[in-house]
Structure 1
Amino acid sequence: MATLVCFHAHPDDEAIGTGGIMALAAGAGHRVVLVCATRGERGEIQPGVLDEGEQLALRRTAEVHRSAEALGVARVEFLGYVDSGMMGEATNDEPWTFWRADVGSAAHRLAVILTEEGADALTVYDDHGGYGHPDHIQVHRVGMRAAELAGVPRVLEGTINRTAITRMIELQRSGAGGFELPEGVQPPDPEEMDLGVPEELLTHVADVSAAVGAKRASLLAHRSQVADDHFFLAMPEAVFAAVMGTEWFIGHGPVDDDGSPLRGIVAPFTAA
Protein backbone atom coordinates (compact mmCIF):
# COMPACT_ATOMS: atom_id res chain seq x y z
CA MET A 1 0.00 0.00 0.00
CA ALA A 2 1.22 3.50 -0.87
CA THR A 3 -0.04 6.95 0.08
CA LEU A 4 -1.44 9.64 -2.21
CA VAL A 5 -1.90 13.15 -0.79
CA CYS A 6 -4.05 15.61 -2.74
CA PHE A 7 -3.61 19.28 -1.84
CA HIS A 8 -6.49 21.59 -2.77
CA ALA A 9 -7.46 25.21 -2.15
CA HIS A 10 -11.11 24.88 -1.09
CA PRO A 11 -13.72 22.22 -0.39
CA ASP A 12 -15.25 21.02 -3.70
CA ASP A 13 -11.99 21.48 -5.66
CA GLU A 14 -11.13 17.87 -4.90
CA ALA A 15 -14.31 16.63 -6.56
CA ILE A 16 -13.60 18.40 -9.82
CA GLY A 17 -9.82 18.20 -10.04
CA THR A 18 -8.63 14.86 -8.67
CA GLY A 19 -11.78 13.02 -7.57
CA GLY A 20 -11.18 10.31 -10.14
CA ILE A 21 -7.63 9.36 -9.23
CA MET A 22 -8.48 9.62 -5.53
CA ALA A 23 -11.37 7.18 -5.90
CA LEU A 24 -9.38 4.78 -8.08
CA ALA A 25 -6.33 4.85 -5.79
CA ALA A 26 -8.50 4.23 -2.73
CA GLY A 27 -10.32 1.43 -4.55
CA ALA A 28 -6.98 -0.19 -5.33
CA GLY A 29 -6.19 -0.31 -1.61
CA HIS A 30 -3.94 2.73 -1.30
CA ARG A 31 -4.22 5.35 1.43
CA VAL A 32 -5.61 8.67 0.16
CA VAL A 33 -5.29 11.90 2.13
CA LEU A 34 -6.97 15.21 1.32
CA VAL A 35 -5.50 18.52 2.51
CA CYS A 36 -7.38 21.80 2.02
CA ALA A 37 -5.60 25.12 2.41
CA THR A 38 -8.83 26.92 3.41
CA ARG A 39 -12.41 26.12 4.36
CA GLY A 40 -13.80 28.08 1.39
CA GLU A 41 -15.29 30.84 3.53
CA ARG A 42 -15.85 33.11 0.54
CA GLY A 43 -17.57 30.72 -1.81
CA GLU A 44 -20.85 31.70 -3.44
CA ILE A 45 -23.62 30.38 -1.18
CA GLN A 46 -26.62 28.73 -2.78
CA PRO A 47 -29.84 30.46 -1.63
CA GLY A 48 -31.64 28.84 1.27
CA VAL A 49 -28.94 26.27 2.01
CA LEU A 50 -27.59 27.61 5.30
CA ASP A 51 -29.61 27.54 8.49
CA GLU A 52 -30.10 30.83 10.32
CA GLY A 53 -26.79 31.84 11.87
CA GLU A 54 -24.88 28.94 10.30
CA GLN A 55 -21.35 29.78 9.18
CA LEU A 56 -20.39 28.84 5.63
CA ALA A 57 -16.98 27.58 6.81
CA LEU A 58 -18.62 25.03 9.10
CA ARG A 59 -21.01 23.85 6.39
CA ARG A 60 -18.21 23.46 3.87
CA THR A 61 -16.13 21.57 6.41
CA ALA A 62 -18.94 19.06 6.85
CA GLU A 63 -19.46 18.87 3.09
CA VAL A 64 -15.83 18.07 2.33
CA HIS A 65 -15.90 15.22 4.84
CA ARG A 66 -18.96 13.77 3.07
CA SER A 67 -17.22 14.24 -0.26
CA ALA A 68 -14.12 12.50 1.08
CA GLU A 69 -16.24 9.55 2.18
CA ALA A 70 -17.65 9.23 -1.35
CA LEU A 71 -14.11 9.15 -2.75
CA GLY A 72 -12.66 6.71 -0.21
CA VAL A 73 -10.40 9.29 1.46
CA ALA A 74 -8.85 8.10 4.73
CA ARG A 75 -7.90 11.49 6.25
CA VAL A 76 -8.94 15.12 5.75
CA GLU A 77 -6.84 18.02 7.04
CA PHE A 78 -6.95 21.82 6.78
CA LEU A 79 -3.91 24.11 6.81
CA GLY A 80 -5.92 26.81 8.60
CA TYR A 81 -5.80 29.71 6.15
CA VAL A 82 -8.73 31.89 5.08
CA ASP A 83 -10.18 31.88 1.55
CA SER A 84 -8.70 34.80 -0.43
CA GLY A 85 -11.63 35.35 -2.78
CA MET A 86 -11.27 35.73 -6.54
CA MET A 87 -8.25 37.44 -8.07
CA GLY A 88 -8.45 41.24 -7.86
CA GLU A 89 -10.90 41.38 -4.97
CA ALA A 90 -10.06 43.51 -1.92
CA THR A 91 -9.98 40.37 0.22
CA ASN A 92 -6.73 39.35 -1.53
CA ASP A 93 -4.92 41.93 0.61
CA GLU A 94 -6.08 40.65 3.99
CA PRO A 95 -2.98 39.36 5.81
CA TRP A 96 -4.69 36.21 7.16
CA THR A 97 -5.66 34.87 3.72
CA PHE A 98 -3.87 32.03 1.97
CA TRP A 99 -2.78 34.31 -0.88
CA ARG A 100 -0.84 36.44 1.60
CA ALA A 101 0.65 33.50 3.50
CA ASP A 102 4.41 33.13 3.62
CA VAL A 103 5.16 30.29 1.20
CA GLY A 104 7.88 28.79 3.37
CA SER A 105 5.75 28.80 6.51
CA ALA A 106 2.73 27.30 4.73
CA ALA A 107 4.95 24.70 3.06
CA HIS A 108 6.25 23.60 6.45
CA ARG A 109 2.65 23.06 7.65
CA LEU A 110 1.97 20.83 4.65
CA ALA A 111 5.34 19.10 4.89
CA VAL A 112 4.49 17.95 8.42
CA ILE A 113 1.47 16.07 7.04
CA LEU A 114 3.44 14.70 4.09
CA THR A 115 6.13 13.41 6.44
CA GLU A 116 3.61 11.93 8.90
CA GLU A 117 1.95 10.08 6.04
CA GLY A 118 5.14 9.06 4.28
CA ALA A 119 3.55 10.44 1.11
CA ASP A 120 4.52 8.60 -2.06
CA ALA A 121 2.80 11.10 -4.37
CA LEU A 122 1.36 14.60 -4.09
CA THR A 123 -1.03 16.50 -6.34
CA VAL A 124 -1.13 20.29 -6.60
CA TYR A 125 -2.22 22.66 -9.40
CA ASP A 126 -0.27 24.10 -12.31
CA ASP A 127 1.54 27.39 -11.77
CA HIS A 128 -1.49 29.33 -13.05
CA GLY A 129 -3.81 27.54 -10.66
CA GLY A 130 -5.88 26.15 -13.51
CA TYR A 131 -7.72 29.42 -14.11
CA GLY A 132 -5.90 32.13 -12.18
CA HIS A 133 -7.51 31.86 -8.75
CA PRO A 134 -5.04 33.23 -6.16
CA ASP A 135 -5.51 30.34 -3.75
CA HIS A 136 -4.93 27.83 -6.53
CA ILE A 137 -1.73 29.58 -7.57
CA GLN A 138 -0.63 29.51 -3.94
CA VAL A 139 -1.38 25.78 -3.72
CA HIS A 140 1.14 25.27 -6.52
CA ARG A 141 3.81 27.37 -4.82
CA VAL A 142 3.28 25.91 -1.36
CA GLY A 143 2.82 22.34 -2.55
CA MET A 144 5.94 22.26 -4.70
CA ARG A 145 8.04 23.62 -1.84
CA ALA A 146 6.47 21.21 0.67
CA ALA A 147 7.27 18.28 -1.61
CA GLU A 148 10.92 19.36 -1.59
CA LEU A 149 10.96 19.69 2.21
CA ALA A 150 9.33 16.29 2.78
CA GLY A 151 11.18 14.50 -0.02
CA VAL A 152 8.04 13.41 -1.88
CA PRO A 153 9.32 11.60 -4.98
CA ARG A 154 6.32 12.14 -7.25
CA VAL A 155 4.35 15.35 -7.83
CA LEU A 156 1.46 15.88 -10.24
CA GLU A 157 0.31 19.36 -11.21
CA GLY A 158 -3.39 18.98 -11.90
CA THR A 159 -4.60 21.13 -14.77
CA ILE A 160 -7.14 21.41 -17.59
CA ASN A 161 -6.55 20.30 -21.17
CA ARG A 162 -7.53 23.54 -22.90
CA THR A 163 -7.14 21.96 -26.33
CA ALA A 164 -9.50 19.08 -25.52
CA ILE A 165 -12.11 21.38 -23.98
CA THR A 166 -12.01 23.62 -27.06
CA ARG A 167 -12.46 20.58 -29.34
CA MET A 168 -15.38 19.33 -27.28
CA ILE A 169 -17.13 22.71 -27.35
CA GLU A 170 -16.67 22.97 -31.11
CA LEU A 171 -18.18 19.50 -31.58
CA GLN A 172 -21.10 20.32 -29.30
CA ARG A 173 -21.84 23.57 -31.14
CA SER A 174 -21.65 21.87 -34.53
CA GLY A 175 -23.95 19.07 -33.42
CA ALA A 176 -21.31 16.51 -34.39
CA GLY A 177 -20.43 15.55 -30.83
CA GLY A 178 -23.48 13.38 -30.29
CA PHE A 179 -24.69 15.28 -27.24
CA GLU A 180 -26.43 18.50 -26.37
CA LEU A 181 -26.42 20.63 -23.25
CA PRO A 182 -29.72 21.56 -21.60
CA GLU A 183 -31.33 24.78 -22.79
CA GLY A 184 -29.73 27.80 -21.16
CA VAL A 185 -26.54 25.96 -20.13
CA GLN A 186 -23.52 27.45 -21.86
CA PRO A 187 -20.03 25.92 -21.81
CA PRO A 188 -17.15 28.15 -20.66
CA ASP A 189 -14.86 29.79 -23.18
CA PRO A 190 -11.42 28.29 -22.38
CA GLU A 191 -9.55 31.20 -23.95
CA GLU A 192 -11.64 33.89 -22.28
CA MET A 193 -11.33 32.21 -18.87
CA ASP A 194 -7.66 31.30 -19.45
CA LEU A 195 -8.43 27.71 -18.51
CA GLY A 196 -5.61 25.23 -18.12
CA VAL A 197 -2.82 24.74 -20.63
CA PRO A 198 -2.49 23.62 -24.26
CA GLU A 199 -2.17 19.86 -24.43
CA GLU A 200 1.41 19.96 -25.71
CA LEU A 201 2.42 21.01 -22.18
CA LEU A 202 0.77 17.99 -20.54
CA THR A 203 2.82 14.95 -19.54
CA HIS A 204 0.30 12.58 -17.89
CA VAL A 205 -3.33 11.59 -18.20
CA ALA A 206 -5.72 9.48 -16.13
CA ASP A 207 -8.73 7.67 -17.55
CA VAL A 208 -11.10 7.95 -14.59
CA SER A 209 -14.27 6.98 -16.45
CA ALA A 210 -14.73 4.11 -14.00
CA ALA A 211 -14.92 6.67 -11.17
CA VAL A 212 -17.33 9.25 -12.62
CA GLY A 213 -20.07 7.98 -10.30
CA ALA A 214 -17.86 8.70 -7.29
CA LYS A 215 -16.97 12.12 -8.72
CA ARG A 216 -20.63 12.98 -9.12
CA ALA A 217 -21.38 11.82 -5.56
CA SER A 218 -18.49 13.92 -4.35
CA LEU A 219 -19.87 16.99 -6.14
CA LEU A 220 -23.33 16.36 -4.73
CA ALA A 221 -21.89 16.50 -1.22
CA HIS A 222 -21.11 20.19 -1.78
CA ARG A 223 -24.67 21.49 -1.84
CA SER A 224 -23.77 24.92 -0.43
CA GLN A 225 -21.87 25.52 -3.68
CA VAL A 226 -23.37 23.16 -6.24
CA ALA A 227 -27.08 23.43 -7.05
CA ASP A 228 -28.94 21.16 -9.47
CA ASP A 229 -28.54 23.77 -12.23
CA HIS A 230 -24.76 24.00 -11.71
CA PHE A 231 -22.89 23.62 -15.01
CA PHE A 232 -21.53 20.18 -14.11
CA LEU A 233 -24.70 18.72 -12.61
CA ALA A 234 -26.88 20.09 -15.41
CA MET A 235 -24.97 18.00 -17.92
CA PRO A 236 -26.60 14.81 -19.22
CA GLU A 237 -24.83 11.74 -17.87
CA ALA A 238 -23.03 11.10 -21.16
CA VAL A 239 -21.68 14.65 -21.26
CA PHE A 240 -20.66 14.52 -17.60
CA ALA A 241 -18.76 11.29 -18.26
CA ALA A 242 -17.05 12.82 -21.31
CA VAL A 243 -15.99 15.97 -19.45
CA MET A 244 -15.18 14.46 -16.06
CA GLY A 245 -13.87 11.06 -17.14
CA THR A 246 -10.32 12.25 -17.81
CA GLU A 247 -7.92 14.09 -15.50
CA TRP A 248 -4.83 15.84 -16.83
CA PHE A 249 -1.45 16.53 -15.25
CA ILE A 250 2.07 17.86 -15.56
CA GLY A 251 4.16 15.24 -13.77
CA HIS A 252 7.45 15.30 -11.89
CA GLY A 253 9.33 12.18 -10.85
CA PRO A 254 8.49 8.54 -11.65
CA VAL A 255 4.75 9.15 -11.33
CA ASP A 256 3.53 5.71 -12.43
CA ASP A 257 6.38 3.42 -11.40
CA ASP A 258 6.17 0.38 -9.10
CA GLY A 259 6.22 2.42 -5.87
CA SER A 260 3.47 4.83 -6.84
CA PRO A 261 -0.17 4.73 -5.70
CA LEU A 262 -0.94 6.00 -9.20
CA ARG A 263 0.47 2.99 -11.03
CA GLY A 264 -2.13 1.77 -13.53
CA ILE A 265 -4.18 4.94 -13.01
CA VAL A 266 -1.99 7.68 -14.46
CA ALA A 267 -0.21 7.16 -17.77
CA PRO A 268 2.24 9.19 -19.85
CA PHE A 269 0.59 11.49 -22.40
CA THR A 270 1.91 12.80 -25.68
CA ALA A 271 -0.06 15.30 -27.71
CA ALA A 272 -1.00 14.10 -31.18
Structure 2
Amino acid sequence: MATMVNFHAHPDDEAIATSGTMMKAAEEGHRVVLVVATKGEQGEPAAGALDPGETLGERRATETLEAARIIGADRVEFLGYEDSGMAGDEANDNPACFWQADFAEAVGRLAAILAEESPEVLTVYDPNGGYGHPDHIQVHRVGVEAARETGVARVFYATMNRTQIRRQMAEVASMAEAMEEIEPERAQRVEEEDFGTEEADITHAVDVSSYLERKRAAMLAHVSQITADSFFGSMTDQQFADVFGTEWYVAPGSPRRGPFATDLFG
Protein backbone atom coordinates (compact mmCIF):
# COMPACT_ATOMS: atom_id res chain seq x y z
CA MET A 1 0.00 0.00 0.00
CA ALA A 2 1.24 3.47 -0.92
CA THR A 3 0.00 6.94 0.03
CA MET A 4 -1.26 9.71 -2.23
CA VAL A 5 -1.71 13.31 -1.06
CA ASN A 6 -3.92 15.57 -3.16
CA PHE A 7 -3.40 19.28 -2.48
CA HIS A 8 -6.23 21.60 -3.51
CA ALA A 9 -7.12 25.26 -3.15
CA HIS A 10 -10.84 25.24 -2.29
CA PRO A 11 -13.66 22.86 -1.45
CA ASP A 12 -15.06 21.26 -4.64
CA ASP A 13 -11.73 21.52 -6.51
CA GLU A 14 -10.91 18.01 -5.37
CA ALA A 15 -14.21 16.62 -6.66
CA ILE A 16 -13.86 18.29 -10.04
CA ALA A 17 -10.18 17.73 -10.73
CA THR A 18 -8.89 14.57 -9.06
CA SER A 19 -11.72 12.67 -7.35
CA GLY A 20 -11.73 9.84 -9.88
CA THR A 21 -7.99 9.31 -9.43
CA MET A 22 -8.46 9.38 -5.67
CA MET A 23 -11.28 6.80 -5.86
CA LYS A 24 -9.17 4.54 -8.06
CA ALA A 25 -6.23 4.78 -5.65
CA ALA A 26 -8.45 4.02 -2.66
CA GLU A 27 -10.02 1.03 -4.43
CA GLU A 28 -6.54 -0.30 -5.19
CA GLY A 29 -5.71 -0.20 -1.48
CA HIS A 30 -3.70 2.99 -1.32
CA ARG A 31 -4.07 5.59 1.43
CA VAL A 32 -5.65 8.80 0.12
CA VAL A 33 -5.15 12.14 1.86
CA LEU A 34 -6.86 15.40 0.91
CA VAL A 35 -5.33 18.75 1.90
CA VAL A 36 -7.26 21.95 1.17
CA ALA A 37 -5.63 25.36 1.51
CA THR A 38 -8.80 27.38 2.19
CA LYS A 39 -12.47 26.90 2.95
CA GLY A 40 -13.61 28.79 -0.14
CA GLU A 41 -15.03 31.79 1.67
CA GLN A 42 -15.20 33.88 -1.52
CA GLY A 43 -17.51 31.51 -3.37
CA GLU A 44 -21.06 32.49 -4.25
CA PRO A 45 -23.53 30.30 -2.32
CA ALA A 46 -26.61 28.97 -4.04
CA ALA A 47 -29.88 30.43 -2.82
CA GLY A 48 -30.91 28.88 0.49
CA ALA A 49 -27.69 26.90 0.86
CA LEU A 50 -26.72 28.35 4.25
CA ASP A 51 -28.45 27.74 7.55
CA PRO A 52 -29.19 30.77 9.75
CA GLY A 53 -25.93 32.04 11.25
CA GLU A 54 -23.82 29.65 9.18
CA THR A 55 -20.86 31.04 7.26
CA LEU A 56 -20.01 29.92 3.75
CA GLY A 57 -16.65 28.64 4.96
CA GLU A 58 -18.32 26.44 7.55
CA ARG A 59 -20.75 25.07 5.00
CA ARG A 60 -18.06 24.36 2.43
CA ALA A 61 -15.89 22.58 4.99
CA THR A 62 -18.84 20.32 5.83
CA GLU A 63 -19.42 19.68 2.14
CA THR A 64 -15.77 18.75 1.72
CA LEU A 65 -16.01 16.11 4.42
CA GLU A 66 -19.05 14.60 2.71
CA ALA A 67 -17.33 14.62 -0.68
CA ALA A 68 -14.26 13.01 0.91
CA ARG A 69 -16.48 10.29 2.36
CA ILE A 70 -17.88 9.55 -1.10
CA ILE A 71 -14.37 9.56 -2.58
CA GLY A 72 -13.00 7.27 0.10
CA ALA A 73 -10.32 9.60 1.45
CA ASP A 74 -8.64 8.49 4.65
CA ARG A 75 -7.74 11.95 5.95
CA VAL A 76 -8.82 15.54 5.29
CA GLU A 77 -6.86 18.59 6.44
CA PHE A 78 -7.36 22.33 5.92
CA LEU A 79 -4.25 24.51 5.98
CA GLY A 80 -6.18 27.36 7.61
CA TYR A 81 -5.91 30.15 5.05
CA GLU A 82 -8.76 32.23 3.62
CA ASP A 83 -9.92 32.23 0.03
CA SER A 84 -8.14 34.85 -2.09
CA GLY A 85 -10.88 35.27 -4.68
CA MET A 86 -10.31 35.53 -8.41
CA ALA A 87 -7.34 37.46 -9.81
CA GLY A 88 -7.92 41.19 -9.34
CA ASP A 89 -10.51 40.83 -6.58
CA GLU A 90 -10.17 42.95 -3.44
CA ALA A 91 -9.88 39.68 -1.51
CA ASN A 92 -6.40 39.26 -3.04
CA ASP A 93 -5.18 41.87 -0.54
CA ASN A 94 -6.60 40.16 2.54
CA PRO A 95 -3.55 39.46 4.77
CA ALA A 96 -5.18 36.20 5.91
CA CYS A 97 -5.71 34.86 2.39
CA PHE A 98 -3.61 32.12 0.85
CA TRP A 99 -2.23 34.40 -1.86
CA GLN A 100 -0.76 36.69 0.82
CA ALA A 101 0.51 33.87 3.01
CA ASP A 102 4.10 33.86 4.18
CA PHE A 103 5.56 31.39 1.70
CA ALA A 104 7.89 29.59 4.11
CA GLU A 105 5.10 29.25 6.66
CA ALA A 106 2.66 27.84 4.09
CA VAL A 107 5.29 25.40 2.86
CA GLY A 108 5.91 24.38 6.45
CA ARG A 109 2.23 23.65 7.09
CA LEU A 110 2.01 21.35 4.09
CA ALA A 111 5.44 19.85 4.68
CA ALA A 112 4.39 18.83 8.19
CA ILE A 113 1.55 16.77 6.72
CA LEU A 114 3.80 15.30 4.05
CA ALA A 115 6.35 14.33 6.71
CA GLU A 116 3.62 12.54 8.68
CA GLU A 117 2.28 10.72 5.63
CA SER A 118 5.47 10.01 3.65
CA PRO A 119 3.49 9.88 0.39
CA GLU A 120 4.72 8.23 -2.77
CA VAL A 121 2.56 10.62 -4.83
CA LEU A 122 1.59 14.28 -4.46
CA THR A 123 -0.76 16.08 -6.84
CA VAL A 124 -0.85 19.86 -7.15
CA TYR A 125 -1.91 22.10 -10.06
CA ASP A 126 -0.03 23.17 -13.15
CA PRO A 127 2.07 26.37 -12.81
CA ASN A 128 -0.82 28.62 -13.87
CA GLY A 129 -3.22 26.89 -11.53
CA GLY A 130 -5.34 25.69 -14.43
CA TYR A 131 -6.80 29.07 -15.22
CA GLY A 132 -4.88 31.70 -13.31
CA HIS A 133 -6.67 31.65 -9.95
CA PRO A 134 -4.26 33.04 -7.32
CA ASP A 135 -4.95 30.26 -4.83
CA HIS A 136 -4.40 27.59 -7.49
CA ILE A 137 -1.09 29.15 -8.47
CA GLN A 138 -0.11 29.24 -4.80
CA VAL A 139 -1.01 25.54 -4.45
CA HIS A 140 1.48 24.80 -7.22
CA ARG A 141 4.23 26.90 -5.69
CA VAL A 142 3.75 25.71 -2.12
CA GLY A 143 3.20 22.10 -3.11
CA VAL A 144 6.29 21.84 -5.28
CA GLU A 145 8.51 23.36 -2.60
CA ALA A 146 7.03 21.26 0.22
CA ALA A 147 7.62 18.14 -1.87
CA ARG A 148 11.22 19.19 -2.46
CA GLU A 149 11.81 19.78 1.23
CA THR A 150 10.30 16.45 2.30
CA GLY A 151 11.65 14.31 -0.51
CA VAL A 152 8.40 13.41 -2.29
CA ALA A 153 9.72 12.13 -5.59
CA ARG A 154 6.53 11.69 -7.60
CA VAL A 155 4.79 15.07 -8.02
CA PHE A 156 2.11 15.48 -10.66
CA TYR A 157 0.39 18.60 -11.94
CA ALA A 158 -3.37 18.10 -12.20
CA THR A 159 -4.48 20.01 -15.27
CA MET A 160 -7.17 20.32 -17.93
CA ASN A 161 -6.73 19.08 -21.47
CA ARG A 162 -7.19 22.36 -23.32
CA THR A 163 -7.03 20.66 -26.70
CA GLN A 164 -9.74 18.16 -25.83
CA ILE A 165 -12.09 20.72 -24.27
CA ARG A 166 -11.90 23.02 -27.28
CA ARG A 167 -12.41 20.06 -29.59
CA GLN A 168 -15.50 18.97 -27.65
CA MET A 169 -16.98 22.45 -27.67
CA ALA A 170 -16.44 22.70 -31.42
CA GLU A 171 -17.94 19.28 -32.10
CA VAL A 172 -20.85 19.37 -29.64
CA ALA A 173 -22.74 22.60 -30.13
CA SER A 174 -25.15 21.86 -27.27
CA MET A 175 -22.27 21.71 -24.78
CA ALA A 176 -20.79 25.00 -25.95
CA GLU A 177 -24.21 26.65 -25.88
CA ALA A 178 -24.95 25.36 -22.39
CA MET A 179 -21.63 26.65 -21.08
CA GLU A 180 -22.19 30.04 -22.71
CA GLU A 181 -25.68 30.27 -21.21
CA ILE A 182 -25.08 28.89 -17.72
CA GLU A 183 -21.43 29.77 -17.03
CA PRO A 184 -20.24 32.39 -19.52
CA GLU A 185 -17.13 33.21 -17.46
CA ARG A 186 -16.01 29.58 -17.65
CA ALA A 187 -16.67 29.54 -21.39
CA GLN A 188 -14.50 32.63 -21.80
CA ARG A 189 -11.64 31.09 -19.84
CA VAL A 190 -11.55 28.07 -22.15
CA GLU A 191 -10.58 30.38 -25.02
CA GLU A 192 -7.61 31.85 -23.18
CA GLU A 193 -4.14 30.57 -24.01
CA ASP A 194 -3.17 29.99 -20.39
CA PHE A 195 -6.17 27.72 -19.70
CA GLY A 196 -5.09 24.18 -18.88
CA THR A 197 -2.40 22.41 -20.89
CA GLU A 198 -2.05 21.44 -24.52
CA GLU A 199 -2.58 17.73 -25.06
CA ALA A 200 0.94 17.29 -26.46
CA ASP A 201 2.39 18.43 -23.13
CA ILE A 202 0.26 16.14 -20.94
CA THR A 203 1.98 12.96 -19.76
CA HIS A 204 -0.68 11.03 -17.82
CA ALA A 205 -4.31 10.24 -18.64
CA VAL A 206 -6.09 8.40 -15.82
CA ASP A 207 -9.24 6.60 -16.95
CA VAL A 208 -11.86 7.22 -14.26
CA SER A 209 -14.90 6.15 -16.27
CA SER A 210 -15.68 3.44 -13.71
CA TYR A 211 -16.14 6.08 -11.03
CA LEU A 212 -18.28 8.66 -12.82
CA GLU A 213 -21.43 8.11 -10.78
CA ARG A 214 -19.50 8.64 -7.57
CA LYS A 215 -17.53 11.53 -9.07
CA ARG A 216 -20.77 13.32 -9.89
CA ALA A 217 -22.05 12.58 -6.38
CA ALA A 218 -18.86 14.03 -4.88
CA MET A 219 -19.29 17.17 -6.97
CA LEU A 220 -22.95 17.52 -6.01
CA ALA A 221 -22.00 17.11 -2.34
CA HIS A 222 -20.75 20.70 -2.71
CA VAL A 223 -24.35 21.81 -2.97
CA SER A 224 -23.62 25.43 -2.05
CA GLN A 225 -21.61 25.71 -5.29
CA ILE A 226 -22.74 22.98 -7.70
CA THR A 227 -26.49 22.66 -7.99
CA ALA A 228 -28.55 20.36 -10.19
CA ASP A 229 -29.21 23.23 -12.62
CA SER A 230 -25.58 24.39 -12.81
CA PHE A 231 -23.49 23.57 -15.89
CA PHE A 232 -21.86 20.58 -14.20
CA GLY A 233 -25.06 19.43 -12.51
CA SER A 234 -27.20 19.61 -15.63
CA MET A 235 -24.89 17.64 -17.95
CA THR A 236 -26.31 14.50 -19.51
CA ASP A 237 -24.59 11.25 -18.57
CA GLN A 238 -22.82 11.21 -21.93
CA GLN A 239 -21.65 14.81 -21.65
CA PHE A 240 -20.39 14.14 -18.13
CA ALA A 241 -18.52 11.05 -19.32
CA ASP A 242 -16.98 12.96 -22.23
CA VAL A 243 -15.76 15.77 -19.98
CA PHE A 244 -14.84 13.91 -16.80
CA GLY A 245 -14.08 10.34 -17.89
CA THR A 246 -10.35 11.07 -17.92
CA GLU A 247 -8.29 13.05 -15.43
CA TRP A 248 -5.14 14.66 -16.80
CA TYR A 249 -1.70 15.17 -15.26
CA VAL A 250 1.76 16.40 -16.16
CA ALA A 251 4.87 14.75 -14.75
CA PRO A 252 7.34 17.66 -14.74
CA GLY A 253 10.61 17.03 -16.47
CA SER A 254 9.35 13.87 -18.18
CA PRO A 255 8.02 14.77 -21.64
CA ARG A 256 5.76 12.20 -23.27
CA ARG A 257 7.26 10.41 -26.27
CA GLY A 258 4.50 7.89 -26.86
CA PRO A 259 1.08 6.97 -25.43
CA PHE A 260 -0.15 8.57 -22.22
CA ALA A 261 0.93 6.90 -19.00
CA THR A 262 -2.13 5.78 -17.05
CA ASP A 263 -1.02 5.24 -13.44
CA LEU A 264 0.44 7.82 -11.07
CA PHE A 265 1.90 5.04 -8.92
CA GLY A 266 3.45 3.14 -11.82
Match of 2:74 in 1: 74
If each structure's helix is expressed as a fraction of its own residues, which one has the higher value? Answer: 2
Match of 2:243 in 1: 243
Match of 1:158 in 2: 158
Structure 1 stretches of at least 4 aligned residues deviating more than 6 Å after TM superposition: none
SS in 2 for 1:188: helix
Match of 2:257 in 1: none
Match of 2:29 in 1: 29
Distance 1:152 1:252 in 2: 13
Residue 220 of structure 1 and its aligned partner are, at CA, apart by: 1.2
Match of 1:141 in 2: 141
Q: Residues 153 and 253 of structure 1 are in contact (CA less than 8 Å); yes or no, is this contact kept in structure 2? A: no
Residue 252 of structure 1 and its aligned partner are, at CA, apart by: 3.9
SS in 2 for 1:132: coil
Identity of aligned residues (%): 52
Residue 195 of structure 1 and its aligned partner are, at CA, apart by: 2.0
Match of 2:221 in 1: 221
**Compared with structure 1, are the counterparts of its residues 169 and 267 closer, same or farther at alpha carbon in structure 2 (3 Å cutoff)?**
farther
Q: Residues 22 and 32 of structure 2 are in contact (CA less than 8 Å); yes or no, is this contact kept in structure 1? A: yes
Greater RCO (Cα-Cα under 8 Å, separation 6 or more): 1
Residue 200 of structure 1 and its aligned partner are, at CA, apart by: 1.8
Match of 1:47 in 2: 47
TM-score, normalised to structure 1, is 0.88
Matched positions, count: 257
Match of 1:88 in 2: 88
Residue 94 of structure 1 and its aligned partner are, at CA, apart by: 1.3
SS in 2 for 1:99: helix
Residue 194 of structure 1 and its aligned partner are, at CA, apart by: 4.1
* 2:259 is the counterpart of 1:265: no
Distance 2:21 2:10 in 1: 18
CA deviation digits over 1:56-82, x for unaligned, max 9? Answer: 111111100000000000000011001
Distance 1:10 1:88 in 2: 18
Match of 2:16 in 1: 16
Structure 2: runs of 5+ lacking an equivalent: 255-260
Distance 1:182 1:162 in 2: 15
Match of 2:258 in 1: none
Q: Residues 24 and 265 of structure 1 are in contact (CA less than 8 Å); yes or no, is this contact kept in structure 2? A: no
Residue 265 of structure 1 and its aligned partner are, at CA, apart by: 3.4
Distance 2:107 2:75 in 1: 19
Q: Residues 180 and 187 of structure 2 are in contact (CA less than 8 Å); yes or no, is this contact kept in structure 1? A: no
Distance 1:184 1:93 in 2: 31
Residue 182 of structure 1 and its aligned partner are, at CA, apart by: 9.6
Residue 193 of structure 1 and its aligned partner are, at CA, apart by: 7.9
Match of 1:259 in 2: none
SS in 2 for 1:147: helix
CA deviation digits over 1:88-144, x for unaligned, max 9? Answer: 011101111100112221011101101101111000000100011000000000000
Q: Residues 154 and 253 of structure 1 are in contact (CA less than 8 Å); yes or no, is this contact kept in structure 2? A: no
Match of 1:260 in 2: none
Residue 192 of structure 1 and its aligned partner are, at CA, apart by: 3.8
RMSD over equivalenced CA pairs, Å? 2.4
Residue 168 of structure 1 and its aligned partner are, at CA, apart by: 0.6
Structure 1: runs of 5+ lacking an equivalent: 255-262
TM-score, normalised to structure 2, is 0.90
Q: Residues 17 and 158 of structure 2 are in contact (CA less than 8 Å); yes or no, is this contact kept in structure 1? A: yes
Distance 1:267 1:160 in 2: 20
